Amino acid sequence: MKVIELHRSVTASNDADAEALRAELKKKGTLLINLMSSPGSGKTTLLSRTIQDLKAELKIAVLEADIESAVDAERIEALGARAIQVHTDGMCHMDAGMTREGLEAMGLEEIDLAFLENVGNLICPAEYDTGAGRNVMILSVPEGDDKPLKYPLMFQKSDALVITKMDALDYFGFDLEQCRKRAKHLNPDIEIFPVSAKSGQGMNEWEEWLKKETAAWKE
Amino acid sequence: MKVIELHRSVTASNDADAEALRAELKKKGTLLINLMSSPGSGKTTLLSRTIQDLKAELKIAVLEADIESAVDAERIEALGARAIQVHTDGMCHMDAGMTREGLEAMGLEEIDLAFLENVGNLICPAEYDTGAGRNVMILSVPEGDDKPLKYPLMFQKSDALVITKMDALDYFGFDLEQCRKRAKHLNPDIEIFPVSAKSGQGMNEWEEWLKKETAAWKE
């Protein structure tokens, strides 16, 4: 497993770096999706199932960002997808310079769809443009339907919201309609995908969206 | 509900501010506990039950820190405990200056035990001393037993680890012994309390620890 130790970017403007990276990825035809969530929301499990379902159609790669460990990247690599683990030097988010460094170390040749698994944190990652083509937030049912009230910026910055662990909905008394309403109030354009990687519920809609966005990115 | 808008502290040394605040709290006989966790780990539910169980014996107050909303402080106030909501001006953690400002706005007269519900985040809060007498980390079962591998600093900085939502252990296949081993490896002195605020499991041990620490703080 390749592990890259990143260091804080020293460039003046993260926004300019992010725009430049996004333009290069557009030219390459690689859609980069920035996945943001709390720790333990099920990002890696969602990705594992998504990769298994889509790998015959799309070439997928995953950049795993964590403060420590390489457990996530190892899980992804075991599925036969290209993966790299980056360590963020204690940083609570990825910025565009760090994302570029990770992607260059991994290599994007022939990759249609790349995921950046951002550091588990609902606050700081929302403030930094990584250069991704799409931002996706993951909220797991056990976290509760009140999260849009507490972390509004994350919902505002995301193109899609994946609600994971839907199989545990009744157990945790999660109000899906209330959550949907709160998210749409912050961001009327947000696409919402309630899924369970365990039962398979909703995975098809989420994967159709990924295919549609990946095709649109190449146009 | 009183809501205080905090601004970033401008003092040079957070560590010195934290030491000064801790000394003042010691003199007052108020034990401040800094509660840190991911979003949605069940901090407010744990606190609600703890307050109900202990309010006949201890005078308890809660400082709720969030980026937005006042839902948590309202829940606590409804139990008859003193509570204040602070907004962190977008900051992903509380520092000592912000903690002092919140405590002064709330008032600590006759308070034995004060909780700071830090911002939901496993990274940044671990890096800033708030001036609390004890640090407690909350990890919920749905987040997974691998969290010590990913967020080691939080485990190293905590005096106690409360593992919440224990009623969902089997559902999520959480390995308690593995988690305990990983946490103790990072911090051999950490006290571990597996609890369920729903079933009441383990609440007694956690509350006995709080009573013991509160009494010791007054010595």
Instruction: Choose the mutation target among B138, B150, B165, B198 for the interface with A, i.e. most A CBs under 10 Å.
Output: B150
How far is the C-alpha of A80 from the C-alpha of A2, rounded, in Å?
Answer: 14
pTM (predicted TM-score): 0.88
Residue B104's identity, in one-letter code, is E
- Beta sheet of A134-140, edge-to-edge order: A3-5, A82-87, A60-66, A113-117, A31-37, A134-140, A160-164, A191-194
Radius of gyration of chain B (CA): 16
Mean pLDDT across B5-18: 76
Rounded Cα–Cα distance for residues B103 and B5 (Å): 13
What is the pLDDT averaged over residues B110-125?
93
Which CATH number fits the domain A3-7+15-217, given the four candidates 3.30.465.10, 3.30.930.10, 3.40.50.620, 3.40.50.300?
A: 3.40.50.300
What is this model's ipTM? Answer: 0.81
> A7-60, pLDDT tens digit by residue?
665 566 899 999 999 999 999 999 999 999 999 999 999 999 999 999 999 999
Q: What is the pLDDT of residue B90?
A: 79
Give the tokens for residue B198: 């729903």
d(CA A129, CA A193): 23
- Which chain A residue lies closest to B172 (C-alpha atoms)? A168
Average pLDDT over residues B150-156: 94
| pLDDT tens digits, A139-171 | 999 999 999 998 999 999 999 999 999 999 999
Nearest Cα of chain B lies from the Cα of A27 at a distance, in angstroms, of: 34
Q: Choose among B166, B148, B168, B170: nearest CA to B157.
A: B148
Measured N-to-C along each axis, helices B14-28 and B96-106 cross at an angle, to the nearest 10 degrees, of: 30
Question: Closest-CA residue in chain A for B150?
Answer: A68
What is the pLDDT at residue A148? 94
A163 φ, ψ (degrees, to nearest 5): -100, 110
Q: Are A72 and A154 in contact (CB under 8 A)?
A: no
Mean pLDDT of B37-52: 94
Backbone angles phi, psi at A108, to 5 degrees: -120, 15
Out of B144, B151, B171, closest to residue A171 by CB: B171
Amino acid at site B64:
E
Q: Do A40 and B39 touch (CB under 8 A)?
A: no
Cα–Cα nearest to A28, from A96, A133, A109, A102: A109
- Dihedral angle at the C-alpha atoms of B67, B68, B72, B75, nearest 10 degrees? 160
Q: Which residues of B touch A171 (CB under 8 A)?
A: 168, 171
In the chain, the amino acid numbered A135 is N
Measured CA to CA, the distance from residue A24 to residue A6 in angstroms comes to 21
Q: How confident is the model at residue A195 (pLDDT cuts 50, 70, 90)?
A: very high
Query: Which residues lie closer than 8 Å to B59 by C-beta, 6 or more apart?
Result: B110, B111, B112, B113
Looking up tokens 């909220």, which residue turns up?
A139
CA distances from A194 to A89, A109, A162, B5 (A): 33, 32, 6, 34
Interface of B with A (CB under 8 A): 38-40, 66-69, 71, 90, 92, 119-124, 127, 140, 142-144, 146-147, 149-153, 165, 168, 171
Chain position carrying tokens 């957070």: B14
Cα distance between residue B162 and residue B164, in whole Å: 6
Q: How confident is the model at residue B114 (pLDDT cuts 50, 70, 90)?
A: very high
**Mean pLDDT value of segment A102-126:** 93
CA dihedral (B7, B10, B12, B16) positive or negative? negative
In A, minimum Cα distance to B167 occurs at A171
Q: What pLDDT, on the 0 to 100 scale, is given for residue B10?
A: 58
**pLDDT interval class at A211 (50, 70, 90):** very high
3-state secondary structure chain B: CCEEECCCCCCCCHHHHHHHHHHHHHHHCCEEEEEEECCCCCHHHHHHHHHHHHCCCCCEEEEEEECCCCHHHHHHHCCCCEEEEEECCCCCCCCHHHHHHHHHHHCCCCCCEEEEECCCCCCHHHHCCCCCCEEEEEEEHHHCCCHHHHCHHHHHHCCEEEEECHHHHHHHCCCHHHHHHHHHHHCCCCEEEECCCCCCCCHHHHHHHHHHHHHHHCC
Domain boundaries, chain B: 3-7+15-217
Q: With left for phi above 0 and alpha for psi between -120 and 50, is residue B217 left, alpha or beta?
A: alpha
- Cα(B57)–Cα(B55) distance, integer angstroms: 5
What the block records as the tokens of A28 is 């390459």
Q: Determine the pLDDT at residue B73.
A: 87
